[in-house]
Amino acid sequence: MAGDTILELKNVAAHYGRIQALKGISLSVREGEVVSIIGANGAGKSTTLMTICGIVRASEGAVHYAGQDITRVNADKLPRMGLCQVPEGRRIFPRLSVAENLDMGAFFRRRKRRIRADMEMVYEYFPRLRERRSQAGGTLSGGEQQMLAIGRALMSRPKVLLLDEPSLGLAPIIVKQIFDIVQTINQEQGVTILLVEQNANLALQASNRGYVLETGKVVMADDAASLLDNPDIRKAYLGE
Amino acid sequence: MDNAFTFFAQQMLNGLTLGGLYALIALGYTMVYGIIQLINFAHGEFFAAGGYMGVILLSYMAGAGYMDTHPWLCIGFSLVLSMLYCAMLAMAVEKVAYKPLRHSSRLSVLLSALGMSIFLQNALMLTQGVYDKAYPGGIFGAPFEIGGVIVNYMQLLILALTAGLLVALNFLVFKTRVGRAMRATAQDKVMSALVGINSNRVISLTFAIGAGLAAAAGIMVGFYYGSVRFEMGFVPGIKAFAAAVLGGIGNITGAMIGGFIIGMVEIMAAAYIPYGGEYKDVCAFIILIAVLYFRPTGIMGENVDDTRV
Amino acid sequence: MTHGFRKQLLYFMVALVWLFALLWPLLDINPDGTLGFWRSFAAWMPIAVAGSIVFVLYQIRQAGWLGAPARMLETGRQALGARLSLIPAWVWFVLIAAVFFAIPQFTDRRVHDILIQVLVYVCLGLGLNIVIGLCGLLDLGFIAFYGVGAYTYALLSLHYGISFWLALPVAAFLAMIAGCIIGYPTLRMRGDYLAIVTLGFGEIVRIILNNWMSLTNGPNGVMAKPLTVPLPMFEGGFRIEEVALRSLGDLYYVAFFLAIITIIAVNRLNFSRIGRAWEAIREDETAAELMGVNTFAFKLMAYAMGAVFGGLAGAFFAARMGFVAPESFTFLESALVLSIVVLGGMGSIPGIILGAFAIIALPEVFREFQMYRMLAFGGAMTFMMLVRPAGLIPAKRMGKRGEEEE
């Protein structure tokens, strides 16, 4: 199922002020894959995604996407190139309605009819959002907000979707639903997914491959299945 | 008709006119605050610059004789041109004094704004002089009377123009794509970038719109009071900011309501309270303090988190 | 990094040019129909020159040409610093105090006048520093307390003939009361709301001074008695007599005395338990409250203490001028004091002293450009924020706040 490499990080470093958050990350994602990045708090997982998107500027190294160097491309140019992120904490626009939030996902698109159709598609995936479409985003529950955040990202018709901690603070049953939908999106729409998770077990089960991050470095990279079997990983991240 | 009622109605009309002007200025404050959490002290100066640009243009046109042949065209032309000019000025000020400080502490930006305000005010003073500049008069004809209430054509124009601008702004912010981008940027700049909004452009636009509205208010004040003055931006500026806070800073509808309340209170205080004329400026602030004391988010303000207040 | 910086600088320069192009109609199109270029050019030039110098210096540093001399300077500075640090701090203090003490002996009236102004603003700046630098409350109406102090002395001396030294504590006390009255309703608000409300209160005080004809004589102002000091007299038997200080050189010593008192008091406050509580509030009000700091009481205290020094400075101002009027207490004065605090370095006492010199004394030196003073002041304020937002001498104990990090 995996095609050509679509997203590649070459030795990327990033700083917050003087603190170095990433110390040379290299990873690659092939078209159609689900790849997860696991690691403890503060390992640099979210920073990796923010650096890919250009919110945090890479101080060294390069980010390549679909054959282009996007290291210095401004964040707001990326969605129309098909690279889209669901950030940590969902970042719903709290005072926009659910429908407006979804519309924001398609902000750079001009074709109204296709946007309508995509919105219908999102409502198919997440029927709850249809019920709440005129409610303000900030009034939704955590699970609904996560659905809305994913739905909003889908509205941009992404080729690659970066998902940051979709399970954060959600009840296990909701987490299961969300992961099911993530896999459906990958299979039905052919969206490549790069997933960041603390819940390593869940993430690896849903992925083809995985990277393990520790204090800003990749310490291990392997097939998801092998990582799940690896005794070190089991001990450090799977709570055994 | 009853005398007291006529007097009241007259004050109502005056209060509405003044309130409309405050509302126009307050919008610029509230929009800028909503989007980058900055009290834009220089905003009052855009208002003054608009008034001066108007008098400059109108004097030229009067000198060339167009004012006698096509007065309305001249007024419209100078209004549009001043609004455009102030919009561009505001964008330049934003780029020079605020944008490089986007990641600095809020106090730095605030002081930068204060510096720009002093700079622009003195730029006006240096060239336009310390004395009042008179607007061309006699364009609008004599005031007329409805049931004892004296109505000035200028007041009608102000009310109509204010209403028009407010409706247009509401449409822009709540119904268009650009407006959605503005609201989204105000709520979460990182996420807006992630959905493809260029926040710098949106911020520039916000400054431009706010300053344009202030410039319109500046010209109307010039016509209404007959003259402009280099320091005219300061007091209406802080009152308009008070109006914006009163309505719930960041909230566009709130700023409009706050502007009308402040204008109304000021006129009513001057009319009905002994010594109210001298202390009308105090009234505006006392209301502001009282409202903030009992309802710190303002009339229309949402319960925003600490970081925003 | 450099690439990004250069791009930003380029944008900034383009924006600057654009701004000045836009300022041109405001500056040089006259309503009588004449056009000019000179005025906008005059406003333009200093900034353009300063900008190019900074740019060239930056380029030179980037190119590393400054490396050798800079290193030599640095080693020299370190060696000197090591020597100097052996001398105890009080020696420095005495030395500096002695220099200041001696200044009036060999300078003229004009210098005295400027120095007195500077010292008054040092008091004001340090007072405001308590509120804004230590406690983190943005106060845009600080000049109101200055006004209260000034009017207190002027009215007391005019109506009751009370001498300056007796009126001084009264002025400080009344300013403190004013601080509490203003503080009580406003301190529950945070941040920008507080700023606008204090601005409003400052204006209210000014408007009241302007309109309460029976008390303050409105815009015409009030005459104040000159400052007197009790001196022992030996002619015809020993007695103590009030002698009016008329020369600016003598007044300078009074101002100097007040400034020293203020510096010592603020320094003591800074390193006291109260000072720590203030800093805790500044860094994180909620956390301070959770640690058992009565934030409201401490904030009110900061306000009151700041007001006290404002009141002292005000009383002196009234005595020195011999006349007070509401026009001395406008928002612009508040802005001036605020900019002293911020340019000098919030929370830093030497910084504020330097800031007062920079803001009050420098413009006096360039008297010939009187017209352009405020214009330059506004421009410089923005410029300082762009290049050195932490102030000339940043406070050592000031922690960097999360929001300030890049």
Q: Express each pLDDT in C130-180 by its tens digit.
A: 998 888 888 888 999 999 999 999 999 888 888 888 889 999 999 999 999
CB of C75 within 8 Å of a chain B CB? The answer is no
The DSSP string of chain B is: --HHHHHHHHHHHHHHHHHHHHHHHHHHHHHHHHHH----TTHHHHHHHHHHHHHHHHHHHHHHTHHHH-HHHHHHHHHHHHHHHHHHHHHHHIIIIIGGGTTS-HHHHHHHHHHHHHHHHHHHHHHH-SS-EEPP-SSS---EEETTEEE-HHHHHHHHHHHHHHHHHHHHHHHSHHHHHHHHHHH-HHHHHHTT--HHHHHHHHHHHHHHHHHHHHHHHHHHHSEE-TTTTHHHHHHHHHHHHHH-TT-HHHHHHHHHHHHHHHHHHHHHSTTTTTTHHHHHHHHHHHHHHH-TT-SS-----GGG-
* Angle (nearest 5°) at CA C381 between C378 and C385: 145
Please tell me the distance in Å from A151's CA to the nearest CA on chain B. 12
8 Å CB contact between C125 and C340 = yes
Question: Do residues B46 and B120 both lie within one domain?
Answer: yes
Question: Do residues B197 and B112 both lie within one domain?
Answer: yes
Half-sphere exposure of C284 (CA within 13 A, CB side): 11
Strand locations in chain A, DSSP E?
5-16, 19-30, 34-39, 58-65, 68-69, 83-86, 160-164, 192-197, 209-214, 217-223
Nearest CA in chain B to A106: B195
Q: How many angstroms separate the CA atoms of B261 and B257, rounded?
A: 6
Question: Do residues B253 and B294 both lie within one domain?
Answer: yes
Q: Which helix (H) or strand (E) holds C320?
A: helix C295-321
* pTM of the predicted model as reported, rounded to 2 decimal places: 0.84
**Which ipTM score applies to this complex?**
0.86
- Positions in chain B whose pLDDT score sits under 70: 1, 301-309
Q: What per-residue confidence (pLDDT) applies to C94?
A: 80
Question: Do residues B92 and B211 both lie within one domain?
Answer: yes
Question: Do residues B203 and B306 both lie within one domain?
Answer: no
Is there a domain that residue B166 lies in?
A: no
CB atoms within 10 A of CB B151: 13
- Chain C residues 158-187 with CB within 8 Å of chain B: 185-186
Q: Pairing relation of β-strands A58-65 and C239-244?
A: unpaired
CB of C195 within 8 Å of a chain B CB? The answer is yes
Q: What per-residue confidence (pLDDT) applies to B304?
A: 42
Question: Do residues B122 and B242 both lie within one domain?
Answer: no
Question: Do residues B184 and B301 both lie within one domain?
Answer: no
Whether A17 sits inside 8 A of C406 (CB atoms) is yes
Which has the minimum average pLDDT: A26-30, A110-114, B9-13, B301-305? B301-305
All domains of chain A in start order, with CATH: 5-90+146-237 (3.40.50.300)
Instruction: Give the domain-ending residue among B212, B230, B248.
Output: B230
Nearest CA in chain C to A72: C4
Q: Which helix (H) or strand (E) holds C228?
A: strand C228-233
Q: Which of A74, A95, A104 sits opposite B195 (nearest CB)?
A: A104
DSSP-derived 3-state class of residue C181: helix
How many structural domains are present in chain B? 2
> Is pLDDT above 80 for A110?
yes
Q: What per-residue confidence (pLDDT) applies to B280?
A: 80
Q: What per-residue confidence (pLDDT) applies to C386?
A: 78
Is there a domain that residue B240 lies in?
A: yes
Whether C1 sits inside 8 A of A16 (CB atoms) is no
CB of B49 within 8 Å of a chain C CB? The answer is yes
Question: Do residues B126 and B265 both lie within one domain?
Answer: no
Is there a domain that residue B275 lies in?
A: yes
8 Å CB contact between A199 and A188 = no
CB atoms within 10 A of CB C200: 28
Is there a domain that residue B118 lies in?
A: yes
Whether A91 sits inside 8 A of B184 (CB atoms) is no
The one-character DSSP state at C189 is S
- Positions in chain C whose pLDDT score sits under 70: 1-6, 24-48, 50-52, 54-55, 57-70, 190, 236-237, 239, 365-372, 396-406
Is there a domain that residue B167 lies in?
A: no
Q: Pairing relation of β-strands C239-244 and C228-233?
A: antiparallel
CB of A141 within 8 Å of a chain C CB? The answer is no
Question: Do residues B237 and B92 both lie within one domain?
Answer: no
Q: Which of B138, B149, B137, B155 is nearest to B21 (CA)?
A: B155
| Chain B neighbours, 3+ Cβ pairs < 8 A | A, C
Backbone φ and ψ for B33, nearest 5 degrees, come out as -65, -45
Is there a domain that residue B13 lies in?
A: no
Question: Do residues B190 and B296 both lie within one domain?
Answer: no
List the domain boundaries for chain C. Answer: 2-84, 90-397
Is there a domain that residue B138 lies in?
A: no
The maximal CA–CA distance of chain C, rounded, in angstroms, is 82
Domain containing B281 equals: 233-309
Q: Which of C39, C210, C384 sits opposite B126 (nearest CB)?
A: C39
Fold of C90-397: ABC transporter involved in vitamin B12 uptake, BtuC (1.10.3470)
Q: Which of A168, A115, A111 is nearest to A145 (CA)?
A: A168
8 Å CB contact between C303 and C137 = yes
8 Å CB contact between B89 and B52 = no
Is there a domain that residue B252 lies in?
A: yes
Question: Do residues B224 and B238 both lie within one domain?
Answer: no
Q: Which of C197, C204, C207 sits opposite B292 (nearest CB)?
A: C197
